Amino acid sequence: MLFCSDAKSGLKAIIAVHNTHLGPAIGGCRMWDYASADEALTDALRLSKGMTYKNALAGLPHGGGKSVIIGNAHTDKSPALLKAFAHHVKCLADRYVTAEDVGITSADADLMATIAPNVGGTSEAGLGDPSPYTALGVYCGIKAAAHHVFGNDDLTGKHVSLQGLGNVGFRVAEHLHRDGAKLIVSDVWEPSLTRAVDAFGATTISPEEAHRVPCDIFAPCALGAGLNRHTIPDIQAAIVAGAANNQLEQTTDGALLASRGILYAPDYVINAGGVIAVAEPVSASAHASVTRRTEAIGDTLSAIFAEATRTGEPTALIADRMAEQRFRG
């Protein structure tokens, strides 16, 4: 754990390296207006642990880590702050690779990469913004879940509640719309809603309604901990499958979803497309390779769903066990 600060730029950040058994930790940087340093620390620890599981199950030669910058990405972010952060990242060059996450764009990653060699997801030395790959993986995961529950992966006419229309959520919406799904969208940022109505003829609802609206699939693509003992009883969808990290507030919430007969696509399995892209070595075939491996997320999920049906265990538990077998050897 590295606590970083720089009085001149106002930087306050935490870098958490959770596990390096499979290789240097990899995981993006989030900039968020945390209510307290404690809240930021909890987020960094939870997210870095999630990356260990995600990277192991995605078959990457990397452990898990994550960093958080405390501040409002719209008002507190500056080139000086990003550069100050990058100097701290550089100190961990043999142990941690960062990239973009909520509040950090690929342009920000490009700027940080001018200071630190251990920045992925850049346009110069990598595939750029990982969000399109994350969205592709989520789309493939939704199709795998639909196949498991409905007997085929045809999304025509299926109602999907998409919570969060950011870099990933909006692209997931594009995939689903192309397949003929009916979109019900929510976001706290009004312009994203207007964009989705114009582009997809989507129906809008408030973020608070997203999980409880009647639909076939609920896709959380905003922030974490949205699946908990308060929200799960209200979910009407047959499937929960979305991009957000750390969707379960507690481990037991996976069992709660299963007990209600809701198929949950474990978050770190379905949203691994981005880190697969960030970890990909530079080559002419990088895009094709990442696309192929991201599409395989659907197969990984199908295996988890089949095992859940066979054993009666929650999907989240099965995914955890598979990941632990890999990173603990």
Which CB, 206 or 325, lies closer to ligand NAD? 206
Burial (0-12, 13-18, 19+ Cβ within 10 Å), 225: middle
Interface with ligand NAD (CB under 6 A), residue from 166, 228, 289, 326 = 166
Kindly identify the residues of this chain, within the stretch 81-120, that bind ligand NAD according to CB under 6 A: 101-102
Residues 209-238 that bind ligand NAD (CB under 6 A): 221-224
Q: Binding to ligand NAD (CB under 6 A): which residues in 263-282?
A: 271, 274
Q: Are 175 and 131 in contact (CB under 8 A)?
A: no
67 binds ligand NAD (CB under 6 A): no
Whole-number Å distance between alpha carbons of 20 and 84: 25
User: Rounded to the nearest 5°, which phi and psi values hold at 25?
Assistant: -65, 145
* Helix, coil or strand: residue 204: strand
Rounded Cα distance, 135 and 148, in Å: 20
Rule CB under 6 A: choose which of 37, 188, 288, 306 binds ligand NAD.
Answer: 188
Which residues are designated catalytic?
A: 66
Contact between 243 and ligand NAD by CB under 6 A: the answer reads: yes
β-pairing, 182-186 vs 159-163, is: parallel
Size of the site for ligand NAD (CB under 6 A): 27
Near ligand NAD by CB under 6 A: residue from 20, 55, 131, 315: 131
Q: Is 163 in the site for ligand NAD (CB under 6 A)?
A: yes
Does 207 participate in binding ligand NAD (rule CB under 6 A)? yes
Can residue 51 be called a binding residue for ligand NAD (CB under 6 A)? no
Q: Which of 20, 134, 294, 315 binds ligand NAD (CB under 6 A)?
A: 134
Give min distance, CB of 172 to ligand NAD, in A.
Answer: 9
Q: Which two tokens stand for residue 41?
A: 């620390």
Comparing CB distances to ligand NAD, the nearer of 59 and 207 is: 207
Distance CA(170)–CA(317), nearest Å, equals: 29
For position 165 contacting ligand NAD by CB under 6 A, the verdict is yes
Beta strands in the chain (DSSP E): 2-6, 11-19, 25-26, 29-32, 63-70, 96-97, 159-163, 182-186, 203-204, 217-220, 239-240, 263-264
Give the residue, chosen from 106, 122, 186, 315, that forms a contact with ligand NAD under the rule CB under 6 A. Answer: 186
Alpha helices in 104-217 (DSSP H): 106-113, 131-150, 169-178, 190-200
Q: Which of 187, 216, 253, 280 binds ligand NAD (CB under 6 A)?
A: 187
Sign of dihedral through CA atoms 315, 321, 323, 326?
negative
Positions touching ligand NAD (CB under 6 A) are 101-102, 130-131, 134, 163-169, 186-189, 192, 207, 221-224, 243-245, 271, 274
